[in-house]
Amino acid sequence: MNTVLFVDDEPLILRAAERTVQESGLRVLTAESAEEALQIIGQEEIALIVSDNRMPGMSGIELLTQVRTMCPDTVRVMMTAFADLETVLAAINKSEAFRFVVKPWVNEDLLAVVREGVARYRIIRELRDGDETRYRSIAQTIELKDPYTRGHCDRVAEYAVRLAQTLGLSETVIRDIKFGSWLHDCGKIGVPEAILNFEGGLKIDQFELVKQHPLWGSEVARQARMSQTVINIILHHHERFDGKGYPAGLKGEEIPIEARIVAISDVLDALFSDRPYRKAFEGKRVLDIMREMTGTFFDPVLMEFFIPIAERICIT
């Protein structure tokens, strides 16, 4: 489950990549051609494949595209010294490449991509094969990246389930809201810990990276064939009722109700908890802020049902 395959027609490149990654404790295999790589993939469970693009015979894009069909869970990374727009678009559209590594690489950057890719593979497999206990365990593992969010997913799930029950939603939907609440931040596995734990305002490029986590997380959930309710929560929990959220800029009831429910629950816990950049707000101030955000961030109808729940949480 922790095997990484590097593919390049230059032996020196393969040896350098192998040395860089082996120190992390991962098992590394190498292939000097796409054809050799396909033979290995037919015999081994490969978590991550990192392939050069320009090789004699089959190109890297062609290889990764075949891998996508043969073993879709295997995470695919393109390594190239020629990262032109045409190559990037082809790799994204044809092979659904997870990341790009540009030669010559920085060892720390390569290692980070490999670790993130292997973690993504594990999550996909565990989500597909897992049960309720496994889903919660995955959420807790992701929270370890950010000590300020310990217990956050459990609390968000608790608040979201309370609201869903108050609304009279079906038991199946409520169960999926619980799972989606646990997993809503699973895309943060691809965000560096230095950014998650940054004390202060993020730079524009850092925040743009953080904003990718709903997309990354929803891709993992979709690949793991989770329910549409869970996928909607992961993808849309940062949308705003006024349409100014992300990643899709959905507005009002365009946002799936399950995502609107979890968005409210997510913000309540964020306000009521310490963060790297501020201390937790006291209960009455949390309620005031939540009311101020109604109509812009939050669905006003849902907030009518949620405010009594929030009062019991914040004022004890």
pTM summary value? 0.76
Query: Are 81 and 23 found together in one domain?
Result: yes
Query: Are 90 and 216 found together in one domain?
Result: no
Cβ of 252: how many Cβ atoms within 10 Å?
A: 12
- pLDDT above 60 (res 12): yes
pLDDT digits (tens, 9 = 90+) for 46-84: 999 999 988 999 999 899 999 999 999 999 998 887 756
Query: Are 148 and 285 found together in one domain?
Result: yes
Query: Are 100 and 148 found together in one domain?
Result: no
In this prediction, residues 166-178 reach a mean pLDDT of: 97
Query: Are 116 and 137 found together in one domain?
Result: no
Q: Which of 62, 91, 122 is the last residue of a domain?
A: 122
Contact between 238 and 263 under an 8 Å Cβ cutoff? The reply is yes
Query: Are 155 and 279 found together in one domain?
Result: yes
In this prediction, residues 10-14 reach a mean pLDDT of: 95
Enter the tokens of residue 242: 């006024």
Query: Are 117 and 136 found together in one domain?
Result: no
Residue 74 structural domain: 3-122
Query: Are 229 and 251 found together in one domain?
Result: yes
Q: Which of 70, 94, 122 is the last residue of a domain?
A: 122
91 versus 43: the higher-pLDDT residue is: 43
Q: What is the tally of structural domains in the chain?
A: 2
Q: Which of 74, 102, 122 is the last residue of a domain?
A: 122
CA distances from 247 to 142, 208, 211, 216 (A): 21, 10, 7, 11
The reported pLDDT for the residue numbered 99 is 84
Q: What is the CATH number of the domain that holds 184?
A: 1.10.3210.10
Per-residue pLDDT band at 164 (split at 50, 70, 90): very high
Q: What is the CATH number of the domain that holds 14?
A: 3.40.50.2300
Contact between 179 and 258 under an 8 Å Cβ cutoff? The reply is no
The reported pLDDT for the residue numbered 116 is 87
Query: Are 240 and 174 found together in one domain?
Result: yes
Query: Are 140 and 33 found together in one domain?
Result: no
Lowest mean pLDDT among 106-110, 247-251, 280-284: 280-284
The reported pLDDT for the residue numbered 1 is 62
Q: What percentage of the chain has pLDDT greater than the value 70?
A: 85
In this prediction, residues 130-156 reach a mean pLDDT of: 77
Query: Are 146 and 284 found together in one domain?
Result: yes
Contact between 90 and 107 under an 8 Å Cβ cutoff? The reply is no
Return the closest-CA partner of residue 118 out of 80, 75, 77, 161.
Answer: 75
The reported pLDDT for the residue numbered 207 is 66
Query: Are 187 and 309 found together in one domain?
Result: yes
Per-residue pLDDT band at 194 (split at 50, 70, 90): low
Lowest mean pLDDT among 25-34, 125-134, 219-228, 249-258: 125-134
